[in-house]
Amino acid sequence: MTENTNPAEPMAAEDDRAYALDRRTIAAILYAVDVGDAARLTALMEPLHQADIADLLEQMNAYDRRRLILLYGPEFDGDILTELEEGIREEVIQLLPRQILADAVRDLDSDDVVDLLEDLEAPEQEAILGALEEADRAVIEQALSYPEYSAGRLMQRECVIAPEFWTVGHAIDHMRASDGLPDSFYHVILVDPRLHPIAQVSLGAIMRSPRDRALRDLIEDQFRTIPVDQYDGDVAYAFNQYHLISAPVVDADGRLVGVITIDDAMSVLDEEHAENILRLAGVGDDSRLSDTVLETLRQRLPWLGVNLFTAALAATVIAQFEATISALVALAALMPIVASMGGNAGTQSLTVAVRALATRDLTAANAWRVVRREMAVGLLNGLSLALPLGLVTWALFGAPLLGAVIGAALVINLFVAALAGVTVPLVMDRLGVDPALASGVFVTTVTDVIGFLAFLGLATLVLL
């Protein structure tokens, strides 16, 4: 039995860190940095995937990261930059000597270069653009002229095209003779004389067909073109919905200007999902572990301020029942139960609704059915929990009517929470507001206010 010595391979199950870097490797890298051993550092970094090196840089403190970059600089691979989160990437770019940075970027596909440049300040952009060849610089500048978050920013200009009358042999000979092929591609795009894409043929179909077979006989049934100005979220949705591997991008005249591949589309999808999670939590849409204290404070404080305002509304409701609470002190102990259960139920419905809206599974066509389902679930949840909660309350406080009141309040609040959890994001979406951005605040407000109002109102009517 041989020992697994590759630090980038899955770790043993004992520490549940599959695909994480080996701690011994990290320690060895840090030691090489401490003693300034560039040769040892290069030998340790060589087997690592670019994504693993990016993870390592993100996990290091700024001091160690700077020393590693300066020592490892001449061996720096441009693909590492594409794997880094935005904040760390900017820091690394500033640390790299300009010539090393230019050499690292020069070998990247155009879409990766655009992704690097679009978040940089003008001086850093110019430094990288100035290191590129004139033709490559023109391509990148054109891509940067497209709207942010558009297919034009997402696409790569390098693609493989062929006229429709070519055979498999023509395509293979062309690809073997060409030195300008993209690093990764999946299709040969068939174009007409005006460079309009009309079909595409997968590399698999080409490789398994005889040389004299016409490419037009091998075209895929599923063929879609992407407008260059289409929102990248819509592009990602199309890739996911129609199981695309790559798709040509066309300008307003329908001419081929680039191609988008599945890795770039799925990166957009992953970013959108991450943004939705962060927005639901009220921490902004670009929160990162590398953010400074002030950056993190700026992202979180406004939403905490909004929550403070909504909590004041709930407190106002409670204040209206001061006499009831004074007469029945037990109410003060039980109030958090109703509010907490309502908040949790609302979050459940809200999360499902926001996710369904993001994936376009929740539409006007099925909205009422989903709303009815959530209402039924909220009501049944309330009825299921009301009886045990009422019995426990009766046993603890010796008041059967108090148990009935809290049970009824729980039914009301869980019903309202489920209803609000699905209708609030639907309304937000209809108004053109991101449902993940503000729905949580409104749902929490509704569940708190209704929960306290139902509980204390019923207690006032029944118990006093």
Q: What is the pLDDT of residue 260?
A: 94
Owning domain of residue 148: 13-154
Q: Is residue 8 part of a domain?
A: no
| 195 phi and psi angles, rounded to 5 deg | 65, 30
Tokens 């002229």 belong to: 145
Q: Please check whether residues 169 and 268 belong to one and the same domain.
A: yes
Burial class (CB in 10 A: 0-12, 13-18, 19+), 80: buried
Q: Is residue 17 part of a domain?
A: yes
Please, which residues have CB within 8 angstroms of residue 144's CB and are 6 or more apart in sequence? Answer: 114, 117, 118, 153
Q: What is the pLDDT of residue 1?
A: 40
Q: What is the pLDDT of residue 218?
A: 95
Q: Please check whether residues 148 and 217 belong to one and the same domain.
A: no
Q: What is the pLDDT of residue 285?
A: 57
Q: Is residue 1 part of a domain?
A: no
Q: Is residue 240 part of a domain?
A: yes
Mean pLDDT for each consecutive 10-residue tract of the chain (464 residues)? 47 55 88 92 91 89 90 85 83 82 78 79 76 80 87 90 94 89 89 95 95 94 93 91 93 94 87 70 60 72 76 85 85 88 90 84 88 94 93 90 93 94 90 78 87 91 84
Q: Please check whether residues 85 and 184 belong to one and the same domain.
A: no
Q: Is residue 26 part of a domain?
A: yes
Q: Please check whether residues 256 and 347 belong to one and the same domain.
A: no
Q: What is the pLDDT of residue 5?
A: 47
- Whether 66 and 33 have beta carbons less than 8 Å apart is answered as no
| 201 phi and psi angles, rounded to 5 deg | -125, 130
Q: Are strands 226-227 and 197-202 parallel, antiparallel or unpaired?
A: unpaired
- Whether 241 and 218 have beta carbons less than 8 Å apart is answered as no
Q: Please check whether residues 444 and 391 belong to one and the same domain.
A: yes
Q: What is the pLDDT of residue 59?
A: 87
Q: Please check whether residues 145 and 168 belong to one and the same domain.
A: no
Q: Please check whether residues 146 and 254 belong to one and the same domain.
A: no
Q: Which of 154, 170, 190 is the last residue of a domain?
A: 154
Burial class (CB in 10 A: 0-12, 13-18, 19+), 18: exposed
- Whether 42 and 72 have beta carbons less than 8 Å apart is answered as yes
Q: Please check whether residues 122 and 202 belong to one and the same domain.
A: no
- Determine the Cα–Cα distance for residues 13 and 463; give it in Å rounded to an integer: 58
Q: Which of 226, 254, 280 is the last residue of a domain?
A: 280
Q: What is the pLDDT of residue 2?
A: 43
Q: Please check whether residues 140 and 272 belong to one and the same domain.
A: no
Name the region of 234 (left: φ>0; alpha: ψ -120 to 50; beta: rest): alpha
Q: What is the pLDDT of residue 28?
A: 92
Q: Would you give the distance in Å from CA 429 to the centre of its chain?
A: 19
| Number of structural domains found in the chain | 3
pLDDT in tens, 181-227: 887 899 999 999 999 999 999 999 999 999 999 999 999 988 999 99
pLDDT in tens, 380-410: 999 999 999 999 999 988 889 999 999 999 9
Q: Please check whether residues 350 and 300 belong to one and the same domain.
A: yes
- Determine the Cα–Cα distance for residues 384 and 397; give it in Å rounded to an integer: 21
Q: What is the pLDDT of residue 3?
A: 45
* Burial 380-419, CB ≥16 within 10 A → b, else e: ebbeebbeebbeebbeebeeeebbbbbbbbbbbbbbbbbb
Query: For residue 330, what is the domain's CATH number?
Result: 1.10.357.20
Q: Which of 154, 170, 199 is the last residue of a domain?
A: 154
- Whether 189 and 248 have beta carbons less than 8 Å apart is answered as yes
Q: What is the pLDDT of residue 142?
A: 85
Q: Please check whether residues 274 and 409 belong to one and the same domain.
A: no
Q: What is the pLDDT of residue 286?
A: 61
Report the first-to-last Cα separation within the chain, whole angstroms: 77
